[in-house]
């Protein structure tokens, strides 16, 4: 089945602003994060035909659901249109969740040279496990052909890499923007910028 996926990362959260590892713990969107979510919704509105033809899926974590509600409001879709999808939850960072990234890198300076350093956390979900659930989701034939997905930074990076069959070096070079999102279609990935305005 030919499927088009718009892949969004949640807007900036309080932990993002504090440079803390979130993983499967949570924090709410900041004022900037809310503006980023609205900007993504407005940019999506320009991309889509009839938004009602698109299914909105979101990680069940609060920051993704909050972003999905703001995006849906911009699209004129009710919150009940959003479906939580557990397979899209962020990577678990084990004992490093809620820790500040600069502190971790000071404590473990060898991390700076590792592109996949996240997976060195004690008790962390393995890359193999994350990849397996992403592949399972991508291969799910019950999914509709038009999807708007609100997920997370690292999860989204890995998802894009698997989708496009990237070499690991290329996968880890991808960024994790909160001021842009991606269209996944026909095996290709297109980046779509959006400008957030705090009102």
Residues classed as catalytic:
10, 90
CA dist., res. 26 & res. 45, Å (int): 28
Question: What backbone torsions phi and psi does residue 190 show, to the nearest 5 degrees?
Answer: -120, 130
Closest by Cα among 121, 123, 188, 179 to 153: 179
Q: How many CA atoms lie within 13 A of 59 on its CB side?
A: 26
The side-by-side arrangement of strands in the sheet containing 146-151 is 82-84, 55-58, 146-151, 4-9, 180-185, 188-193
* DSSP 8-state symbol, 143: S
């Amino acid at each position: 089945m030919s499927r088009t996926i718009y892949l969004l990362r949640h807007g900036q959260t309080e932990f993002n602003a504090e440079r803390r590892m979130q993983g499967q713990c949570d924090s709410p969107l900041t004022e900037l994060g809310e503006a980023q979510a609205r900007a993504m919704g407005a940019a999506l509105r320009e991309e889509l035909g009839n938004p009602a033809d698109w299914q909105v899926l979101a990680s069940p974590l609060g920051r993704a659901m909050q972003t999905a509600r703001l995006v849906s409001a911009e699209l004129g879709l009710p919150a009940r249109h959003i479906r939580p999808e557990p397979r899209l939850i962020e990577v678990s960072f084990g004992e490093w969740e809620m820790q500040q990234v600069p502190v971790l890198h000071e404590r473990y300076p060898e991390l700076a040279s590792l592109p996949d350093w996240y997976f060195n956390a004690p008790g962390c979900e393995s890359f193999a496990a994350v990849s397996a659930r992403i592949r399972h989701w991508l291969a799910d034939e019950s999914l509709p052909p038009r999807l708007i997905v609100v997920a997370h930074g690292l999860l989204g990076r890995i998802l894009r890499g698997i989708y496009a069959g990237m070499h690991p070096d290329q996968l880890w070079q991808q960024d994790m923007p909160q001021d842009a999102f991606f269209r996944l279609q026909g095996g290709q990935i297109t980046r779509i910028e959006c400008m957030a305005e705090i009102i």
